[in-house]
Amino acid sequence: MIKPHGGLTLNPLFIEDERSRASMIERASELPSIVVSSSTAANAVMLGAGYFSPLNGYMNVADAISVSTDMKMSDGLFWPVPVMNVCHSAEGIEVGTKIALRDPNVDGNPVVAVQDVTSIETLSEEQLAIIITNVYATTDENHPGVAAFVAQGRIVVAGPIQVLNFSYFEEEFPETFRTAGQIRAAIEAQGWEKVVAFQTRNPMHRAHEELCKMAQEATGADGVLIHMLLGKLKEGDIPAPVRDSAIRKMVELYFPANTVMITGYGFDMLYAGPREAVLHALFRQNAGCTHFIIGRDHAGVGDYYGAFDAQTIFDDQVPSDALEIEIFRADHTAYSKKLDRVVMMRDAPDHAMEDFVLLSGTKVRTMLAAGEDLPGEFARPEVAKILMDYYQSL
């Protein structure tokens, strides 16, 4: 099986031993605590689940700047996006002590992790601009990722953590949320040697379905990991439970048996385009995947990134030896009226735009909200029904 990033074994920070975890939970109740941002809590979940191996906690400012500018930490480890605990105040917190990190997304704000504080620093405006500009390629606070980052505050609390739970993800998505180690175990149990991963924050329409099948065939993969984001999204995106239901129905009816794993991970979407695409590839390697699909405008939002910037970053900025996972580069996929099937548009040079069935996201949402059937060339009817029920319930 493919090696995890940065070592031979995963480094999940979740305390597996129940007795040790119970003891830590008891101790945490007496520690100074802060209610962290949703992003910081999601970082804790990813660290706990082994997706962010081999990191052992939150970065300090020097590492965050180095990662932002050069995609490597001060010790040389390749890493594309800062993983930080940024807050508004560190009052009552001292370097060299332990603190409890409380979850903002669960009622009662239970402790999600305990952190050893190795430094407390304040981000300057210049440092903030360096991080945002390099990671998001913009300082425009209309960008949802930039807005979320800026809203966290300026105080950076660095240090290793021990994770006590996986926030709301295990309880709300018991059939879907999986750690990197659990996915690796499932891949091994299936006997799969090659696995191609598909990232989604949206329901999967016919083009996505066929893209997964194309990628599996082209790479010779034994199976497909459909790996959906379960965390916070921007306003207007479809909630995770609806996406989960739609994807499961599609796989049940339209994929061969035992060729797909449907799983999810607990992270808030960054909408960081190319940089987030690299992070997506890295943690799919940690989950045991050998290939990763990157298509048009991967992890993007609005017009902040070029259509294929998330692919070219692997040529221009990612060292060839940085990751072992291979990228499957996909073009925009659409239903061809001429060929009566879904194709990648680059593979149909004789087509004009009117030869494809193309619907914008806005048009799709409008049709669903109005109770109008989506074209069968665009969406499977069973999937469209689930989405229509959701939109009409709003």
Helices (H) and strands (E) in the chain, counts: 13, 15
Pairing of strands 98-102, 33-35: parallel
- How far apart, in whole angstroms, are the C-alpha atoms of residue 132 and residue 86? 13
Task: Determine which one of 21, 201, 248, 365 is catalytic.
Answer: 201
* Angle, CA of 141, 142 and 147, to the nearest 5°: 45
- How far apart, in whole angstroms, are the C-alpha atoms of residue 261 and residue 243? 15
Task: Determine which one of 11, 56, 109, 202 is catalytic.
Answer: 202
Phi and psi at residue 283, in whole multiples of 5°? -80, -15
Residue among 379, 354, 355, 377 at smallest CA distance from 365 = 379
Residue count of the chain:
394
Q: Is 380 a catalytic residue?
A: no
Q: What is the DSSP letter of 9?
A: S
Where does 262-322 have alpha helices with state H? 274-286, 309-316
Give me the DSSP letters along 109-125: --EEEEEE--EEEE--H
Phi and psi at residue 9, in whole multiples of 5°? -135, 155
> At a CB cut-off of 8 Å and minimum separation 6, what does 62 contact?
74
Long-range (24+ apart) CB contacts under 8 A made by 246-251 are 246/203, 246/204, 246/383, 246/386, 246/387, 247/200, 247/203, 247/204, 249/380, 249/382, 249/383, 249/386, 250/204, 250/209, 250/380, 250/382, 250/383, 251/226
Q: Is 201 a catalytic residue?
A: yes
The pair of structure tokens assigned to 241 is 């439970």
Which residues does the annotation mark as catalytic? 201-202
